[in-house]
Amino acid sequence: MDFSIFFTIGAFVGSFFNVVIYRLPRDESVIKPRSHCPDCKKPIPFYRNIPIISFIIQLGRCAQCKERISIQYPAVELINGLLWGWAFANLSFPEAITVSLLCSILISIAWIDSRIYMIPLDLIIVGVIIISLSIILGVLSLYQALLGIVAGVLFPGVMMGLTWIITRRQGMGFGDLQLGLILGAWLGPILMILTLFLASLLGLLAWILISIFQGIDRNRPLPFAPYLTFSAISIFIVSNYSTTLIDRLIMV
């Protein structure tokens, strides 16, 4: 299917999820009021609310109050657009719908977690609904989904328990386990295990880098959802091109 068409659709979906990212942690409606500048509160007309393009034309500032617009807005729109375009260009239509919607949900979860160290239950529920419908419609295998859930929830849960026993610290949040349920059901057991490994590695590298520049703090919180999301989406995309180890493991 045409990449540019679904890139555009994905960018507009990303624009909506920007509203979700901003309002959901504040317990505000994602429907009303209409989009407005968070600084001057002036409504944004539709012709100034075009994904990515409006940000570029306005040089990253509000057209009314001239306050800077967060880079989050074009970044989320661009990432969503690229993922939607890739999905519909490379996957069957039903699977592309599942992957695109899940990616949008995951990006929102990752962005919110990176800011407030919390994964909204509302987005988890939406993710579960998408997974459930995909299983019912035959897009995802129930058997692989159940095995993936075991990998995505049981393994991190055991590690979380061991971390608590040894250090008396909660290494992961329960929101991460809920996110693991969605990712596991989507990816299946093998890709989920690879996702956990890569996310843990990236999280460790990030902690080391932060410690180098800001000093070592064993109690420093580190949001895990961004690393899980990045790892899951990356591994899923790579697996669609790989004809080596990953394919052989999945076929077992």
What does the block give as tokens for 159? 């590690």
User: 31 lies in which domain range?
Assistant: 1-90
Tell me: do 129 and 44 sit in the same domain. no
Asked whether 221 and 117 are in contact (CB, 8 A), the reply is yes
Average pLDDT of the segment spanning 220-232: 89
Average pLDDT of the segment spanning 132-142: 95
pLDDT greater than 80 at residue 66: yes
pLDDT greater than 80 at residue 245: no
Tell me: do 144 and 250 sit in the same domain. yes
Tell me: do 86 and 158 sit in the same domain. no
Tell me: do 145 and 32 sit in the same domain. no
Tell me: do 173 and 73 sit in the same domain. no
Asked whether 147 and 162 are in contact (CB, 8 A), the reply is no
pLDDT greater than 90 at residue 221: no
Tell me: do 52 and 173 sit in the same domain. no
Q: pTM, whole model, 2 decimals?
A: 0.89
Average pLDDT of the segment spanning 206-224: 82
Average pLDDT of the segment spanning 146-154: 92
Within-domain flag for 56: yes
What is the distance in angstroms between the CA of the first residue and the CA of the last residue of the chain?
31
Tell me: do 68 and 149 sit in the same domain. no
Tell me: do 124 and 228 sit in the same domain. yes
Average pLDDT of the segment spanning 5-16: 95
Out of 73-77, 102-106, 130-134, 204-208, pick the least confident: 204-208
Domain count along the chain:
2
Percentage of the residues of the chain whose pLDDT score is greater than 70? 90
Average pLDDT along the chain: 87
Within-domain flag for 85: yes
SS3 content of the chain, % helix, strand, coil (to 5): 70, 0, 25
Average pLDDT of the segment spanning 118-124: 94
Which of 32-41, 96-105, 150-159, 195-204 has the highest average model confidence (pLDDT)?
A: 96-105
pLDDT at 165: 63
Within-domain flag for 107: no
pLDDT greater than 90 at residue 40: no
Tell me: do 144 and 207 sit in the same domain. yes
Tell me: do 124 and 249 sit in the same domain. yes
Within-domain flag for 235: yes
Within-domain flag for 153: yes
Tell me: do 64 and 185 sit in the same domain. no
Out of 1-10, 129-138, 177-186, pick the least confident: 1-10
Decide: residue 60, CB within 10 A, 0-12 exposed, 13-18 middle, 19+ buried: middle
Average pLDDT of the segment spanning 203-213: 87
Which of 37-51, 179-193, 220-234 has the highest average model confidence (pLDDT)?
A: 179-193
